[in-house]
């Protein structure tokens, strides 16, 4: 995948995630029913539409601007106005483009809304862990001595100890984790990389003339670090953060796959794959496994392509 293609794929998923409600929802974007007009009812949730769905409104409404997919991520068979009689899960048809799961929820709708959770967690994890890593790495590189020794040991352990084990223990401790909690826990396992890169860069830069000059001019430690060292040392961290988005997506989906991600019934890509695994018992439901996996792979590969592009850009030798 080229850098540009990668960036496009990421942008596409971001748009999907941001506009998930406009793509797949139980209520329409706008509707006029019984002489009353409702705009964005899926956000406002007016009392009049409490028991309605896009399917039930279709007959009554004077006019309606529906969403691309007429069902929401949590809508089961009972409310989606289905007419098929074969047992669930249903294979893809003209109503459910990517099929349904074993209680009749639309896979495409869940995929679109799952993008929101997955992307939010991945981006949040990378942001948090980069902040933590940059701060600790810069401090260790600049201060040296005991601070550096302690951090180096911690880094060594954190990067060798099996991440998933730590994750399972912490997430199990949280019982039903929220998006923020999952983000924080994943960030705790991803900071060492940023810290290591930052430390190495600061060690390299701190004896270079412009830093010595700043010091000679009487700049304080904090000013040298924040204004001179960190901005110049950031390039490798930015490159690795881009790759880290991909691995955060993988890690989040692995957690959800184990049933330890964001609490159900919220959809995330890993949770969709977990459904696919469960459906192996009633085999043949290939659509449950194929599409969420493709979504994960496309996003991870896209971040890797962009990461490689950035690497080439920052690295003058290539």
User: Which residues would be at the binding site for another protein (CB under 8 A)?
Assistant: 1, 153, 156-157, 159-162, 164-166, 168-170, 172-175, 246, 250, 253-254, 257-258, 273, 276-277, 280, 283-284, 286, 289-290, 292-293, 296-297, 300-301, 304
Question: For another protein, which is the closer residue by CB, 1 or 55?
Answer: 1
Both tokens of 191, joined, read 């900071």
**DSSP-derived 3-state class of residue 94:** coil
Question: For another protein, which is the closer residue by CB, 92 or 293?
Answer: 293
Cβ count near 294 (within 10 Å):
12
Displacement of CA 219 from its chain's centroid (Å): 40
Provide, rounded to whole angstroms, the least separation between the CB of residue 157 and another protein: 6
Question: For another protein, which is the closer residue by CB, 195 or 300?
Answer: 300
**Torsion 106-108-109-115 (CA) sign:** positive
Provide, rounded to whole angstroms, the least separation between the CB of residue 172 and another protein: 4
- CA 254-255-256 angle, to 5 degrees, is 95
Question: For another protein, which is the closer residue by CB, 191 or 257?
Answer: 257
- Check: CB of residue 31 under 8 Å from CB of residue 57: yes
Provide, rounded to whole angstroms, the least separation between the CB of residue 305 and another protein: 8
Q: On the CB side of 243, how many CA atoms lie within 13 Å of its CA?
A: 13
Question: For another protein, which is the closer residue by CB, 211 or 299?
Answer: 299
Provide, rounded to whole angstroms, the least separation between the CB of residue 298 and another protein: 8
Provide, rounded to whole angstroms, the least separation between the CB of residue 296 and another protein: 6
Give residue for tokens 């896209």. Answer: 302
């Amino acid at each position: 995948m080229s850098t540009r293609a990668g960036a496009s794929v990421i942008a596409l998923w971001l748009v999907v995630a941001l506009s998930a409600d406009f793509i797949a929802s139980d209520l329409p974007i706008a509707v006029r029913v019984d002489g009353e007009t409702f705009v964005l009812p899926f956000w406002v949730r007016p009392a009049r539409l409490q028991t309605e769905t896009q399917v039930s409104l279709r007959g009554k409404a004077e006019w309606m601007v529906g969403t691309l997919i007429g069902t929401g991520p949590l809508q089961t068979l009972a409310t989606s106005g289905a007419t098929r009689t074969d047992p669930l899960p249903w294979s893809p048809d003209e109503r459910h483009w990517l099929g349904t799961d074993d209680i009749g929820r639309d896979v495409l709708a869940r995929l679109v809304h799952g993008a929101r959770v997955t992307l939010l967690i991945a981006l949040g994890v990378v942001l948090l862990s980069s902040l933590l890593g940059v701060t600790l790495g810069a401090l260790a590189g600049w201060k040296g001595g005991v601070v550096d020794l302690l951090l180096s040991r911690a880094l060594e352990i954190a990067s060798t100890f099996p991440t998933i084990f730590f994750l399972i223990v912490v997430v199990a401790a949280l019982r039903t984790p929220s998006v923020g909690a999952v983000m924080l826990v994943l960030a705790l396992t991803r900071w060492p990389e940023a810290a290591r890169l930052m430390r190495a860069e600061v060690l390299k830069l701190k004896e270079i003339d412009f830093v010595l000059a700043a010091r000679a001019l009487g700049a304080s430690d904090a000013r040298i670090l924040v204004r001179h060292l960190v901005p110049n040392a950031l390039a490798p961290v930015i490159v690795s953060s881009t790759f880290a988005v991909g691995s955060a997506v993988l890690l989040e989906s692995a957690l959800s796959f184990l049933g330890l991600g964001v609490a159900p019934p919220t959809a995330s890509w890993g949770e969709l794959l977990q459904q696919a695994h469960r459906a192996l018992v009633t085999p043949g439901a290939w659509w449950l496994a194929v599409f969420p996996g493709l979504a994960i792979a496309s996003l991870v590969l896209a971040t890797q392509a962009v990461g490689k592009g950035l690497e080439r850009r920052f690295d003058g030798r290539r």
